[in-house]
Amino acid sequence: MKNIALLICSVFLISCSGIQQNENAGFQLELLEKYPLPPIPLDIYRDYFKISAIMLINEDGTVREVKLLKPSGNSLWDKKAADALMRWKYAPPVKNNIPGRIWLRQNIRIEVGEPFFISFSKILCETLEIAAEVYQALKNGGDFSDLALKYSVDPTRDQGGKVGKTDIHLYPDYIQKELKRLKADEFSQPVSFGDKYLIMKRHGF
């Protein structure tokens, strides 16, 4: 089996399941975090291939439903891939500053290559004001783990914000660039991340 290192995605908002044709017009949508697709079995292995899925995104950016439109030809892999897509995370779909549920077609070009692992921690702040307060506390010598536990709204808060060693291809390009730019034990300024703000600390190389 071959591990997947790169997922190149394109998003198309669609009308589906009785939704009016123009209901998705005006929505803004950003893919924030991907969950790794399963390793590719040899019977469907190619240097790259494409799959397509219809996905229903909740108001909070979590995925509610997934249906593969263009399967790979391996039913077991297709099921595991659909399960992985259910764990993807989007920014809350917003139209006129109001979150809403939305259908989309997610086209995914799958390429096999080398992953890029970085170990880091993160603090996800609800507002820019909180992020600025956390950033200033870090500059004043505050402990990253303690601040994550106090301020972060991410599930990693209970581990002091620790994400651990992660393939950064699972994050948007601007997050990848920021993580690569950071030196060991250096933390970032607040970065806009969907409707929230993210501060990251890179660990040893």
What percent of the chain clears pLDDT 90, i.e. is strictly above it?
56
Shortest CA distance to 194 belongs to which of 138, 153, 139, 147? 153
The letter for the amino acid at 88 is W
R_g of the chain computed on alpha carbons = 18
For residue 18, what pLDDT is reported? 40
Domains and CATH numbers, the chain: 6-111 (3.30.2420.10), 117-202 (3.10.50.40)
Phi and psi at residue 42, to the nearest 5°: -65, -25
For residue 149, what pLDDT is reported? 98
For residue 25, what pLDDT is reported? 55
| pLDDT tens per residue, range 139-181 | 999 999 999 999 999 999 999 999 999 999 899 999 999 999 9
| Calpha distance 4→37 (Å, rounded) | 7
Shortest CA distance to 108 belongs to which of 59, 56, 71? 71
Q: For residue 82, what is the enclosing H or E element?
A: helix 75-85
Instruction: Give one DSSP letter per residue of 50-69, joined into a string.
Output: EEEEEEEEPTTSBEEEEEES
For residue 20, what pLDDT is reported? 40
Query: What are the residues facing 123 on neighbouring strands?
Result: 199
For residue 19, what pLDDT is reported? 41
Give the pLDDT means over successive 10-residue stretches in the chain (205 positions).
Answer: 58 49 60 87 74 90 92 86 94 83 85 86 98 98 98 96 93 95 97 96 86
Query: What are the residues facing 52 on neighbouring strands?
Result: 107
For residue 47, what pLDDT is reported? 66
